[in-house]
A = this chain, B = another copy of it.
Amino acid sequence: MEDLHGYYVEDLSEGMSASFGKTVTDADIVLFAGISGDTNPVHLNDDFAKKTMFKGRIAHGIFGASLISAVLGTKLPGPGCIYVNQTLRFKAPVRAGETLIASVTVKSINAAKKLVTLDTVCTVDDKTVIEGEAVLMVPSKG
């Protein structure tokens, strides 16, 4: 199993970064509604959504957050880390057809407590759509 493990806290340094992206599809939106129970018509109903400030259907904000979780949980720090805290500021909507990129960058490391803080941002065409910060507990090799 060891080869499935991600970084240990000793392996990390400030400025390290990683990203994961995917193109948002209607399938993602329909499935996200199903597993979350979030059937808000702004995500599912064009007629309703066109009358909002968004002028059409948008993806769930937390769907963007789930891509941040993907980077943290699979790349940096990767498997073995424990999610402690996440802040999310939703800056702009994301729509089906757009490619959403989640990027994380190590901001600070508390080696004694094994806590790592990362900047977390989601972008579409280099425009920030979500920004925030994550704190993870990362195992030590010792």
Is A52 among interface residues, defined by CB-CB distance under 8 A?
Answer: yes
A4 to chain B: which residues have CB within 8 Å? 19-21, 41, 45, 48
Excluding A33-B37, A52-B80, A60-B66, 12 further A-B contacts by CB distance (< 8 Å) are A4-B19, A4-B45, A21-B44, A23-B47, A27-B27, A33-B34, A36-B69, A40-B73, A61-B86, A85-B89, A85-B90, A88-B88
A62-106 Cβ-contact flags toward B at 8 Å (1 or 0): 110111111001100011101111111110000000010100000
How many copies make up the complex?
A: 4
A1-29 Cβ-contact flags toward B at 8 Å (1 or 0): 10110000000000001111111011111
| Interface size counted on chain A using CB atoms at 8 A | 64
Is A111 among interface residues, defined by CB-CB distance under 8 A?
Answer: no
A31 to chain B: which residues have CB within 8 Å? 27, 30-31, 34-35
A57 to chain B: which residues have CB within 8 Å? 23
State A101–B67 Cα separation when bound (angstroms).
Answer: 23
Nearest-neighbour CB distance to chain B for A16, whole angstroms, equals 11
